[in-house]
């Protein structure tokens, strides 16, 4: 053997290497996802028993008058939409409200509409404002300027249930769920490898893992139709 040959690592050295790195990835991934995992586990229970959890929606209604200047801008935008639709031979515009109208809504009703598209017709513009744990809508009469706003709040349980489902939560929460899911995968996969490395001293390891696989599998095959 050449005096420059690199000696092979012993089995104990390889085991120590993998244990070190698997433990590191395992605790980092658990730290990243543990709080969210508690949230998703708790809301899994509330979703599974949603029929038994009584909700008491609270409805808030507001009415006001859109200033003439802003009403003129809404009608002007509607006219522009009609021209565009005629040229493109399409129907049913879904444009957001003009920025000055959105700014006025924020000051008048403390309402953030953003780029949410509205349903425009010659009589009115209707904006649906779905949100976690509730719903809301806004209607503006394009002739009289009458504005109606209604907010339905279904409570904290419904709010967290919708976070669990990613319902009406926006792009940022969708990204968070994806990152959280990856962290959970890393946590579980490194956990399986750690079980493998420790299973020699823990003979019940794989029977318990097998039981965790067998129970949901049998339930799915036998009891779910």
Same domain as 28, residue 113:
no
Same domain as 93, residue 144:
yes
Residue-wise pLDDT tens digits, 181-213: 999 999 999 999 988 888 888 889 899 999 999
Same domain as 146, residue 79:
yes
Residue 167 resides in a domain: no
Under the banding of pLDDT at 50, 70 and 90, the label for residue 91 is low
Same domain as 62, residue 153:
yes
With contact defined as beta carbons under 8 Å apart, do 94 and 118 qualify? yes
Number of CB atoms found within 10 A of residue 54's CB: 7
Same domain as 72, residue 122:
yes
pLDDT at 8: 53
Residue that terminates a domain, selected from 140, 157, 174: 157
Residue-wise pLDDT tens digits, 134-193: 999 999 999 999 999 999 999 999 999 999 999 999 889 999 999 999 999 999 999 999
Residue that terminates a domain, selected from 102, 132, 157: 157
Domain containing residue 21: 12-53
Residue 172 resides in a domain: no
Same domain as 97, residue 28:
no
Residue that terminates a domain, selected from 129, 157, 185: 157
Residue 153 resides in a domain: yes
Per-position DSSP letters for 102-152, written without gaps between them: HHHHHHHH----TT-B-EE-SSEEEEE--BTTEEEEEEEETTT-EEEEEEE
Task: State how many domains the chain has.
Answer: 2
pLDDT at 120: 92
Check residue 30 and report its DSSP letter: H
Most confident range, picked from 7-16, 80-89, 192-201 = 192-201
Same domain as 89, residue 18:
no
Q: Is the dihedral of CA 181, 182, 186, 192 positive or negative?
A: positive
Same domain as 140, residue 75:
yes
Q: What dihedral do alpha carbons 3, 6, 12, 16 form, nearest 10°? A: 140
pLDDT at 9: 59
How large a percentage of the chain has pLDDT more than 70? 92
Residue 136 resides in a domain: yes
Same domain as 108, residue 69:
yes
Same domain as 120, residue 73:
yes
Residue-wise pLDDT tens digits, 46-66: 999 988 888 889 999 999 999
Same domain as 84, residue 40:
no
Same domain as 136, residue 63:
yes
pLDDT at 55: 80
pLDDT at 1: 46
Residue 5 resides in a domain: no
pLDDT at 14: 80
Residue 192 resides in a domain: no
Containing H/E element for 59? strand 58-65
Q: Is the dihedral of CA 204, 207, 213, 214 positive or negative?
A: negative
């Amino acid at each position: 053997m050449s005096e420059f040959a690199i000696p092979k690592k012993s089995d104990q050295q390889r085991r120590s290497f993998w244990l070190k790195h698997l433990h590191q990835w395992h605790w980092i991934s658990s730290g990243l996802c543990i709080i969210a995992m508690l949230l998703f586990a708790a809301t899994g229970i509330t979703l599974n028993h949603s029929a038994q959890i009584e909700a008491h929606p609270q409805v808030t209604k507001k009415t006001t008058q859109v200033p003439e200047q802003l009403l003129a801008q809404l009608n002007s935008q509607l006219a522009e939409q009609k021209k565009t639709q005629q040229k493109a031979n399409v129907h049913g515009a879904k444009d957001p409200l003009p920025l000055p109208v959105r700014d006025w809504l924020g000051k008048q009703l403390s309402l953030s509409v953003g780029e949410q598209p509205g349903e425009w017709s010659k009589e009115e513009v209707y904006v649906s404002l779905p949100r976690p744990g509730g719903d809301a809508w806004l209607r503006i009469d394009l002739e009289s300027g009458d504005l109606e706003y209604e907010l339905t709040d279904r409570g904290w349980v419904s709010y967290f249930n919708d976070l669990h489902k990613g319902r009406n939560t926006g792009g940022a929460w969708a990204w968070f769920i994806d990152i959280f899911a990856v962290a959970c995968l890393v946590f579980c996969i490194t956990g399986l490898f750690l079980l493998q490395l420790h299973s020699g001293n823990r003979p019940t390891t794989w029977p318990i893992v097998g039981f965790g696989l067998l129970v949901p599998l049998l339930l799915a095959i036998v009891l779910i139709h």
